[in-house]
Chains A and B, each alone.
Chain A
Amino acid sequence: MNNSIKMAAILLASTALIAGCGKKKVEQLPPVAEGTEGEMATDPNAGTGQIVPGSQEDFLASVGQYGDRIYFDTDRFNVDTEDQTTLQQQAQWLARYPNTRITVEGHADERGTRDYNLALGERRANSAKNYLTSVGVDASRIQTVSYGKERPQAMGSDEQSWAQNRRAVTVTVQ
């Protein structure tokens, strides 16, 4: 109950944000994860100020800044309460666009060996996938891919950067 209230509030807030501003604000949306470059389809309407419903842009606008990703503790892959809130927001958007498919990208920080980190990224992506299916997203809509430690989001070699890099990012398949 609490969750859905919170979700509704966030959705309202982000809708208001988009409605109020158009292009300029859209450009200030969270940067797309480094790793998703190339996988994302280019939105033909980008730059017109219009967000195409069901697009990656729409998804990002809907789930809010960094709402496309969940974070993990070192060497862990469990989905905690905060992650559940994030994934529920994603699931709600996905429920509005039942034909949209997603890829969940699993990542690890640089402080692990390469092969193990590929396996760990798989685990994290699957944790997110499993939670999304548990809240009603059809498993057939969700692909996973692990990038291990190959695509860091934050470039530092410090705890703060590593915390940002231990993540599972949801990207729409256009």
Chain B
Amino acid sequence: MKPQILAGKLLALLALLLMPLAVQAQPATPAAPAEDEPELVEFDTAKTRSIAVPALVAPAPADTPAGNTTALGRQIAEVISSDLRASGVFETSGPNGLRAITLAEVTTPQFDYWRGRNVEQLIEGFVRVGGDGNLTVGCYLYDVGNGNEVTRLGFNVPPRDWRRAAHKCADAIYSKLTGELPFFDSRIAYIAETGPKGKRVKRLAIMDSDGANHRFITNGQSAALTPRFSPNYKSILYLSYVDGNPRIYVYDIDAGRQRLITQSRNATFAPRWSPDGQTILYSMAVAGNTDIYKISATGSGTPVKLTSSPGIDVGGSFSPDGRQIVFESDRGGNQQIYVMNADGSNQRRISFGQGRYATPEWSPRADLIAFTRIAGDFRVGTMRPDGSGERLLTNSWQDEAPTWAPNGRVIQFFRTAKGTGKTSIWQVDLTGANERKLPTPVDGSDPAWGPILP
């Protein structure tokens, strides 16, 4: 009986979550403005579920290189709570303000206590050190209303990776409750910016999806731009002016070394990985004419030229199955979005709205393409791969360069301030809801979200 009720409640929750999407999936109404201005998505501000996350119990407190397990129990709960809250789908409380729980409660929660506090979902867990020195993190999700366990997970991680255990727990709960794929346990490469507008110092940097574990890769002596994590997170493609010219390098994170992806006297820029990490897409300007090329990621082999229009063909993003590439071209007079097969055949324009369209990025879920639309201001939006269903998600002076969360549900981009040129990284849900600024130590631009960590 209870599982059925639970299933019913989950279905209701899912229906609630999917409702805004279902509404937006309708074709444009005839009442749309005459100039074909895409609508700005209206979002549902109603939070769906109240989740409590008390500190994880440390049944046998012990010191680890990452701190005592009692402290880690609280910190892990903080990360879980923060992840779920930042997703915009949940209202979370805890661990601050919530009472400590006992180990017995982890498997036998006091549902009446939590019901009295209007908690709908409860996350409890424990953390302890195993014989191998690794942390064991247990994570349980309960439906308080029904008094049921929904799911339980266990993770064994080196102490230094405690945040990953927290992200994985949050991912599992997020997936269970929303039906979406996970995305918290992932990383972001971006460009850290400092200095005045005319003398920006631009450094390659990486961080976790929530801004933690931040690390600068380059020292800023030469400008770095447009990074992309390889699918296995072992290397980063990016543009550097280290030899005075714009050139694409592949940086090996463990080795701390980099190499040119191709020897050329021409400018190379806009690097991208194929989904399997075997192929690199890049743009090269020869005598002022820019085209898109691909080359093996191993550094061997010769480049294959994919476009040949007289004009700027630039950027590009593979479909998740690797069979198609969406890219940007001004062959028709100004920047628009085109799709071609991965061998360069069957090139066709898909964007026909008002203004210019740039920086297309194919969703890892395959169903949408994110872009920057330039019509006066720069706004981030999405359209289907056939160009239909265009929607704008942001509305600011200059929002640019969308990048997808691994689950294709959240988009990051960067925002430039008028006048000062200061930049910041922002995140928005696919519905246009829950727009928020990411915490970065300095200004940030060119975010590139990697896949779920292996």
A150: B residues at CB distance < 8 A: 200, 202, 223, 225
| A116 and B312 within 8 A (CB) | yes
Is B1 an interface residue when CB atoms closer than 8 A count as contact? no
**B230 CB to closest chain A CB, in angstroms?**
19
A113 touching B312 in the complex, CB below 8 Å, given contacts A75-B334, A122-B288, A152-B197: no
Cα–Cα, bound, A82→B315 (Å):
33
| A145 and B246 within 8 A (CB) | yes
| B312 and A123 within 8 A (CB) | yes
Is B127 an interface residue when CB atoms closer than 8 A count as contact? no
Cα–Cα, bound, A165→B203 (Å):
23
Is B401 an interface residue when CB atoms closer than 8 A count as contact? yes
Interface residues of A in 149-167 (CB under 8 A from B): 150-153, 155-157
A80: B residues at CB distance < 8 A: none
Is B199 an interface residue when CB atoms closer than 8 A count as contact? yes
Q: Which of B226, B285, B398, B418 is most buried by chain A, counting CB atoms within 10 A of its CB? A: B285
Q: Which of B197, B288, B397, B418 contacts A125 (CB 8 A)?
A: B288
Is B390 an interface residue when CB atoms closer than 8 A count as contact? no
Q: Which of A34, A113, A151, A157 is most buried by chain B, counting CB atoms within 10 A of its CB? A: A113
> Which A-chain residue is minimally distant from B285 (CB atoms)?
A122
| A114 and B400 within 8 A (CB) | yes
Q: Is the interface of A mostly helix, strand, loop or mixed?
A: mixed
Is A127 an interface residue when CB atoms closer than 8 A count as contact? yes
A114 touching B335 in the complex, CB below 8 Å, given contacts A145-B267, A151-B198, A152-B197: no
Cα–Cα, bound, A145→B283 (Å):
15
A116: B residues at CB distance < 8 A: 312, 314-315, 328, 330, 335, 358
A157 touching B419 in the complex, CB below 8 Å, given contacts A114-B401, A118-B267, A119-B283: yes
A152 touching B290 in the complex, CB below 8 Å, given contacts A115-B269, A115-B283, A116-B328: no
Is B189 an interface residue when CB atoms closer than 8 A count as contact? no
B334: A residues at CB distance < 8 A: 75
Is B31 an interface residue when CB atoms closer than 8 A count as contact? no
| B416 and A110 within 8 A (CB) | yes
Is A88 an interface residue when CB atoms closer than 8 A count as contact? no
**A34 CB to closest chain B CB, in angstroms?**
5
Mask, A107-136, CB within 8 Å of B = 1, is 000111111101110110111001000000
**A111 CB to closest chain B CB, in angstroms?**
8
A56: B residues at CB distance < 8 A: none
**B20 CB to closest chain A CB, in angstroms?**
28
A115 touching B226 in the complex, CB below 8 Å, given contacts A125-B288, A126-B287, A151-B198: yes
Q: Which of B290, B400, B419, B421 contacts A113 (CB 8 A)?
A: B400
Is B270 an interface residue when CB atoms closer than 8 A count as contact? yes
Is A146 an interface residue when CB atoms closer than 8 A count as contact? yes
**B325 CB to closest chain A CB, in angstroms?**
14
Is B446 an interface residue when CB atoms closer than 8 A count as contact? yes
Mask, B283-309, CB within 8 Å of A = 1, is 101011110000000000000000000
> Which B-chain residue is minimally distant from A145 (CB atoms)?
B245
B398: A residues at CB distance < 8 A: 110-111
A148: B residues at CB distance < 8 A: 246
Is B217 an interface residue when CB atoms closer than 8 A count as contact? no
Is A73 an interface residue when CB atoms closer than 8 A count as contact? no
Cα–Cα, bound, A152→B195 (Å):
13
A146: B residues at CB distance < 8 A: 246, 267, 285
Cα–Cα, bound, A98→B315 (Å):
39
Is A39 an interface residue when CB atoms closer than 8 A count as contact? yes
> Which B-chain residue is minimally distant from A115 (CB atoms)?
B270
Is B332 an interface residue when CB atoms closer than 8 A count as contact? no
Is B372 an interface residue when CB atoms closer than 8 A count as contact? yes
B199: A residues at CB distance < 8 A: 34
Q: Name B's A-contacting residues (CB within 8 A).
A: 196-200, 202, 223, 225-226, 239, 244-246, 267, 269-270, 283, 285, 287-290, 312, 314-315, 328, 330, 334-335, 358-359, 372, 374, 378, 397-398, 400-401, 416, 418-419, 421, 446
